[in-house]
Structure 1
Amino acid sequence: MSASFASALAAARDAAAAQHYPQGTLYVVATPIGNLADIGLRALHVLQLVDAVACEDTRHTQALLRAYGIEARALLSVHRHNEAEGAQEIVRRLQLGQRVAYASDAGTPGVSDPGARVVAAVQAAGLRVMPLPGASSVTTVLSATGVEGDAPGFVFFGFLPAKAGERQQAIESLGQESRAVVLLEAPHRIGVLADSLAALGARPLTIGRELTKQFEQIATVTCEAFPAWLQADPSRSRGEFALVLHPVRVQGDGGEALRVLRLLVAELPVKTAVRLAAEITGASRNTLYPAALAMKGEGDS
């Protein structure tokens, strides 16, 4: 444990110890998605306070806790393959009046991670669940995209299906979605995802790779350029990915507007290209702008 985290533990105690932490409660604890400094003060305090920490991988969570200078009283292995049985053990402990924390390997439990079954089982038993908000790759990547479209909000899809037919159906459905779509992917499948998304053509895509870590990379390209972007540098296929499919809705003949925009972006600054494309085609500047950024990104990659 570094001196920095010693100070963090003291700050956690000062900031959070006076609050009420009822017994017989499941504490859903968000942990960093990469940078250890992204842990919350209340999370640090609760992880010291609870009688047991349930987690996906006990070795990973033990290393995380030790980095902060915390020795858990008990670690319970509760992962995707034993979640139902693990949930019952958690319920048993809560019924005895224990405090139990649940943490997935990174980010917020239950969001494309184990945890949802555990929470449902605890609630079904009439016991309390207290969430401790914190890091999430979903909101992290969204905050760096600047997406804005005609349809408000976003859709969280997570991981696409592994089977080719189901994945193709999902891609076709996403192509009709007017809102921003957040996707997640592992490094060993990112090439397959890139090839699948290429079918969406000029729709802009923001790629978040290794978010919050030393080699974090955020880039915006078009879907059709995504495979080439990956292949341009072998290091781009490494690490965990969070991606945002931008909410492009072009009025009128969308294909023609994007064709005109591509020609103009190749010769002019983005703002000028967007203004002229909007005047020529009647498309909205707000929907053309992210597409222009993505097209410009292709030329820079």
Structure 2
Amino acid sequence: MRNNRAMAPSRHRVAVLALDHVVGLDLGTPSQILGAARDHDGNRFYKVRTCTPGGAPVRSTAGFTVLPDHGLDLLEAADTVIVPGIHDGPPLHSGVLTSEVADALTTAHARGARIVSICTGSFVLAATGLLDGRPAATHWAHADRFVGLFPQVKLDADVLFVDDGEILTSAGVAAGIDLCLHLIRRDHGTEVANRAARRCVVPPWRDGGQAQYTERPVPPPTSTGTAATREWALRRLGEPLTLERLAAHARMSVRTFTRHFRDETGLSPAQWLLRHRTDRARELLESSDLSVARIARETGFGSAAALRQRFQQALGVSPLTYRRTFAPR
């Protein structure tokens, strides 16, 4: 008899490579998110399995040991290889990787496997040379270290993830969820990705990039140069602060003040003011119920429209979207 029942889709094979000091959330993200991608009959689109070098146990940063079912041979047949983030180890500190792991990853890539990293897993990929000359993402807090170790990689520390065809990288922690949903969307379309997001109770898409999550501490003022004027200006961000007014406070000519200011901060006075006005607006959106128009006036932007334009340029989101994300409920 002919079986009229639709056949289950062939499952995309995913190998998650866990190394010592693996980040617990990053490790679980692929199986949770990709495992939620199913057809209308409930058939899973992905088969996600975990491996380690030699199939040996590895320690996670969450205080538990990972006991894998597979070694690096799992990468030999994987359609996609995902490297979760790590919080310690040679790739993160010195940019080196064991030849065993490097060979397994480069061989998988050479035969056509898709290679993906979450968070600081990008350090592992970069240590193999796979990211040389390519755009990539990593956690913003590790961006400076990444650039120092891998100057040949085109790091973009502002985005949630980078899709460079057969190699994809994400920013920190929850950005791995964004990237896994992107993989589903790319492989099976928006409808399947949205269903997976609903099953996991996460947004199917997040606006903006990492910039909205980056810490911007204000450096303590010093007693020399333009520091006193910078401290004075921070208390008056809502006022008109022309270059002439700043220079007059510092008791310098405009030319001298501008030169000293750039030497001490690496920014022009206008750039410095724009950055701190944006940071102050962020603080008020998070901690107050002031209207966007009021915050715009108090931070020197003048109008709600100007503040919205600045947030879109700097953070990729509107002030109201930023408030919904960060303001206490």
Provide the TM-score with structure 1 as the length reference: 0.35
Greater RCO, 1 or 2 (C-alpha within 8 Å, sep 6+):
1
Question: Which one has the bigger strand percentage?
Answer: 1
Higher Cα radius of gyration? 2
